[in-house]
A and B are shown apart, each in its own frame.
Chain A
Amino acid sequence: GAGVSQSPSNKVTEKGKDVELRCDPISGHTALYWYRQSLGQGLEFLIYFQGNSAPDKSGLPSDRFSAERTGGSVSTLTIQRTQQEDSAVYLCASSPRVAIGGGNTIYFGEGSWLTVV
């Protein structure tokens, strides 16, 4: 597609429920990233994928958070047993394979707004 696509754009869920957030990167981009944006914590890195593997998942805040990517394209971020502190905007981004030093840009989607009530 023309840009990074995320769904749902808004999600309200009850505490304790599981949620899945989907990201469809720009066509041809092999690198995919998840970030979280919240009032208290600002923008936080969660995980990134190169192809289907995740070299860096150091930002996942707890074992309730997981992400997968299949076919080198779409990724799903899953939050199990959601808590109120999980309320945030979850941003997905993608870039071509070449490292930042090569001048490639990370392109962000518009985010999935998650509210846990």
Chain B
Amino acid sequence: AQSVTQLGSHVSVSEGALVLLRCNYSSSVPPYLFWYVQYPNQGLQLLLKYTTGATLVKGINGFEAEFKKSETSFHLTKPSAHMSDAAEYFCAVGGTTDSWGKLQFGAGTQVVVTP
């Protein structure tokens, strides 16, 4: 079974400050890991994903995440927050060969950016 834990349901950051969203996963097989963003009244948009290879993954809008197997983590960062980063962020794990279409999502982290 696979599961995801996102630490912090709400995060407030100042514009220009570092954004750090924490995600830990549990998986009995090598995981595929994802970060999605959801803006108000919209669907989910993929920020980045880790499947295999390089453990530091770069995504859209200046976000990146690092897969750390020893820590079972996949934290999302952005060096400098922008007002447009205010949204809800979801970490997800999935991709076993018999259930590759089934993503297990974390509970989400709501990001507020203050001027």
Contact = CB atoms under 8 A, between A and B. Distances in A.
Nearest to B104: A45
B101 A101 contact: no
B97 A101 contact: yes
A100 B41 CA distance: 27
Contact of B46 (A45, A55, A106): A106
B101 A31 contact: yes
B60 to A, nearest CB: 11
A101 B52 contact: yes
B112 interface: no
Contact of A4 (B43, B106, B107): B43
A93 B94 CA distance: 15
A50 B99 CA distance: 11
A31 to B, nearest CB: 6
Contact of A42 (B36, B43, B108): B108
B90 interface: yes
Measured as residues with beta carbon below 8 angstroms from the partner, the interface class of chain A is 20 to 34
Main secondary structure of the interface of A (DSSP, over half): strand
B45 A99 contact: no
A110 interface: yes
A43 B51 contact: no
Main secondary structure of the interface of B (DSSP, over half): loop
From B42, B46, B99, B102, name the one whose CB has the most chain A CB atoms within 10 angstroms: B102
Contact of A95 (B44, B52, B97, B101): B101
Interface in B50-71: 51-52
Given A33-B101, A43-B105, A48-B102, A103 B43 contact: no
Contacts of B44: 91, 93, 108
Contact of B42 (A55, A93, A100, A110): A110
A33 B27 CA distance: 21
A9 B104 CA distance: 24
Interface of B: 32, 36, 41-46, 49, 51-52, 90, 92, 94-95, 97, 99-108
14 contacts: A4-B43, A33-B101, A42-B107, A42-B108, A43-B90, A50-B101, A91-B44, A100-B94, A100-B95, A100-B100, A103-B51, A105-B46, A106-B46, A110-B41
